Structure 1
Amino acid sequence: MSPAATGRPGLRALGVVVGALPTGRDNAITDVAGVRVGHTTLHEGERLHTGVTAVVPDALGAGPGQRRSLPCGLFVGNGYGKLVGATQLEQLGAIETPVLLTSTLSAFRAADALVTHVLAWPGYEDVRTLNPVVGETNDGYLSDIRSRPITETHVLAALDGATSGPVAQGCVGAGAGTSALGYKGGIGSSSRRVDVAGTTRTVGALVQSNFSGTLTVRGVPLPAVDLLGTESISSAGPRADQIDAVPKGSGPAEGNSCMIVVATDAPLDARRLERVARRAVFAMGRVGSDFAHVSGDYGLAFTTAGHDEALVPDDALDPLFGATTDAVEEALLASVFTATTTVGHRGTRYGLPHERAVRRLREAGVLAGS
C-alpha cells in the first residue's frame, strides 16, 4: 500500500533524502515515460500475504512504434533464486515481455500466465517462441507459500491494471509478504533526473525487498533488535498500542532475496545496461544487506530509448551510475519505511517504528534540515 493508503508518511516526509539529484514527478519508476506498474495483492487473514507486481514498458507489443523486444541488462549478485527467463535475457540482452515479480513457488504459474497475456497481443498470432521474465522472493514466513495461490487471473489483473503515475509501495503486490533487514519489507520505488552527455535523462527503480542484514539509513545503523522491543503479543496479533513490539520466538528472517528493476530513457545497449544493473545490486550494500548465502539478488535494467538515438559513450556513464545507485537506495528504504506490521502464516513481521528511527537519524544529523 502507498503511504497515503497506510497512513505512514513516505521517506522524504520524514526528512530522509538520498543524494542531491532531483526526482521525477512521482519519484517512481513510472517517471520513465511509457513505463507502467500494476499490483494484485492477496491478504487473506493470517494465511496469505502475497501477490504480483507487473512492470510494463509500453514500447513492447504490437502497433505503430512498438517493438518485439527492448535492450536489457542483467546482473546476478547472488544466484540463489528462480528468475524465469534469465539465460535468454543474459545471452540476447533483451526482454520480450513485461517483467513480473511474485512469490517463489508461484513464479512458474505467473510465467505461464504472462505467456498467455503476450500471445494475445495483436500481431502475435504466429509467434512460436517467447521468453517470459518473472522474478521472485520467498514470502513463506508470512504466507502459505506451498499453496501456490497465484493464478492466471491474478497475473492478468496486475498486467491489465498497470498505470502510470504514483506507485503503491509497502505491503502491496509482490511485497505483501516479504521481510527486509529485520523489519517488514515490501515494494519500493524511486526515480532520478540527471544530465547524461548533455541531455536530461530519467532513471527509475522498483524493488521487491526480502533480504537480511542491518537496516542502515544514510550510514546510520537502525538494528531491529534495538528499535523493536521484546514485549509479548497475543496470538490474535498486535493491538495499535503494540505496533512496535516483537513477540518472543517470532522466528528468524528467511527467504533472503531482492529483485531490482531499473528503467531508463537513456539510449544504452545490453552491455551498458548490465553495468547499470550491477550498480543497482551494489546499492543493497548501502542499506545494510549482508548478502547472505541464501539471498537471490538480481538487478535488471532496460531502456525505452528509440533505436535511432546514439548510444551514451562509456566515459559519460558515471552520472547514470550515480542516479541508479541513489534511486535504488531510496527505493529499498521506501520499501521498509512504508511497510506495516503483518501477522502471517508462521509469525509476525513488524513495521519500522518511525518515531524511534527518526529520533536516531536526527541525533546523527542526517535528516534534511537537521
Structure 2
Amino acid sequence: MHAHGGGRVRARSLGVVIGALPTGPLNAITDVNGVLVGHTTVDDGADLRTGVTAIVPERLAEGGLPAAVHTGNGYGKLVGSTQVDELGVLESPVVLTATLSVFRAADAVLTYLMGRRPDGVSFNPLVGETNDGFLSDIRRRPITERHVLDALEGASGGLPAEGCVGAGTGTTALGFKAGVGTSSRRVTAGGSEATVGALAQANFGGVLTVRGVPVPVEEVVPGVRRPEPPGNSCMIVVATDAPLDARRLGRLARRAVFAMGRVGASYAQGSGDYAIAFSTAPPGVPAVPDAALDPLFAAVMDAVEEALLNSLFMATTTTGFAGRTAHAVPYDRRFLG
C-alpha cells in the first residue's frame, strides 16, 4: 500500500513560515534562473520505493560552474566530490539516488555527459545518495541508465514535485516518512539582488522540530514506535545566482548542513550529511565580498530548513519493503502556525 496525494501541502500552507526573508516566486530551487529539476520514481507498490532526482544547471553547457562540497559527516558515497573539492568546479548535473544504486547512476551520468560533449576526454559525474533501505530493497539495485537519463532529460523549471518522488520515494527522516523538499529566498548581497535555492533529500535521524517545538513521532502518531533505523543521511543542493567563488560557496554549503540542526537532526554516526553549492552567475562578475555574505548565509539557513520541512509535510504514509511503514507527519495544530 502506498498512499498517493492525500491532500498533502507545503509548510507555508500550514502557517509554518521560516524566517523573515521573502521567497522566490515558486519557493523552490528552480527560482534560480536556469536551474532545472527532474525526477524518476521507481515504485512497484511493494518492495521497491526509490528513484532518481536530477538538478540540472543549464549553464553547464558553457563550461563548469563554481562549486563546493561540504562534508558534515562523510559516511556516504558521494561520487565525484574530491575533484569538486580540488578544482572548485561543477562539471555535471547533480544526481541523487539510493545508496547501492549510486554507482550505476554515476555511469549513466557519464553516458549523458559524453553525449553532450563528444570531444571531451574526461568527465566528473557528481552523484549523491541516501540509504532508503527501510522502505526499499536496496540490494536489488533497481536504478537503470534509463531511469537516470529520464530524470536528466525531463528536468524542467517550474515547481518540482516534493515528498515521495524521485530520490525521496523511500526515504524517512526524524521518525516520519520524508522525501524531497525545496525552498528559496531572495536577498540583497554586495549591493545586488540574489536568489538562493535549496533542494534536500531527507533521510536522517533525530526528533522532528518545527520552529523550536519538538514533535516526537511516538507522541503524534498513536501506537507507533520510532522506526529503526530512523533514516541515515541527507543530501542538500544549494544553487544561487549570486557571484561567488568556490571558497565562498563552501561557506554557504557549511551553513546548509548546520540548518539540519534546526529541524532536530541527530547527526548520527552513520548519517552521511553533505551539501553541494554552486553559482550560476556569469563568469567575470566580481564575487560578493566576505563581509557582505551574511544575507546569503541567512538565506541558505532558512531555505534549507524550509526545504527539509517541505520534504516531510509533502510526504505520504508509505508501506514498503518487508511490510515496514513510515508515517506521514500529521497536520497537528499544536505545533503548526
Match of 1:279 in 2: 255
Letter of the 1:109 counterpart = R
Matches within 5 A, 1:46-57: 46-57=46-57
Identify which of 137, 155, 161 aligns with 1:168.
161
SS at match of 1:60: helix
- Count of paired positions: 333
CA distance in 2, matches of 1:80, 1:50: 20
Gaps of 5+ in 2: none
Match of 1:196 in 2: 189
CA distance in 2, matches of 1:39, 1:160: 10
SS at match of 1:115: helix
Letter of the 1:54 counterpart = A
Match of 1:80 in 2: 75
CA distance in 2, matches of 1:275, 1:288: 22
SS at match of 1:192: strand
SS at match of 1:89: helix
Identify which of 310, 314, 318 aligns with 1:334.
310
Matches within 5 A, 1:1-370: 5-61=5-61, 66-67=62-63, 69-121=64-116, 124-230=117-223, 246=224, 251-346=227-322, 347-354=324-331, 356=332, 359-361=333-335, 367=337
Q: Deviations for 1:88-139, whole angstroms, at most 9, x for unmatched residues?
A: 1111111100000000000000000000001101xx2221111100000000
SS at match of 1:300: strand
Whether the 8 Å CA contact 1:255–1:294 is kept in 2: the answer is no
Whether the 8 Å CA contact 1:193–1:200 is kept in 2: the answer is yes
CA distance in 1, matches of 2:240, 2:156: 17
CA distance in 2, matches of 1:324, 1:276: 7
SS at match of 1:164: coil
Whether the 8 Å CA contact 2:255–2:297 is kept in 1: the answer is yes
Matched-pair identity in %: 61
Backbone CA RMSD of aligned residues: 1.2
Whether the 8 Å CA contact 1:170–1:188 is kept in 2: the answer is yes
CA distance in 2, matches of 1:16, 1:253: 28
CA distance in 1, matches of 2:274, 2:17: 25
Letter of the 1:36 counterpart = L
Whether the 8 Å CA contact 1:29–1:206 is kept in 2: the answer is yes
C-alpha deviation, 1:361, in angstroms? 2.0
C-alpha deviation, 1:287, in angstroms? 0.3
Q: Deviations for 1:136-184, whole angstroms, at most 9, x for unmatched residues?
A: 0000110010000000000000001101011100000000000000000
- Larger Rg, first or second structure (1 or 2): 1
C-alpha deviation, 1:6, in angstroms? 4.5
Whether the 8 Å CA contact 2:29–2:239 is kept in 1: the answer is yes
Gaps of 5+ in 1: 231-245
TM-score (norm 2): 0.97
C-alpha deviation, 1:251, in angstroms? 4.2
C-alpha deviation, 1:77, in angstroms? 0.4
Letter of the 1:349 counterpart = A
C-alpha change, 1:217 and 1:269, in structure 2 (3 Å) is same
Whether the 8 Å CA contact 2:49–2:136 is kept in 1: the answer is yes
Runs of 4+ in 1 over 3 A off after TM superposition: none
Whether the 8 Å CA contact 2:205–2:232 is kept in 1: the answer is yes
C-alpha deviation, 1:311, in angstroms? 0.6
C-alpha deviation, 1:254, in angstroms? 4.5
C-alpha deviation, 1:5, in angstroms? 4.7
TM-score (norm 1): 0.88
C-alpha deviation, 1:345, in angstroms? 0.3
Letter of the 2:269 counterpart = H
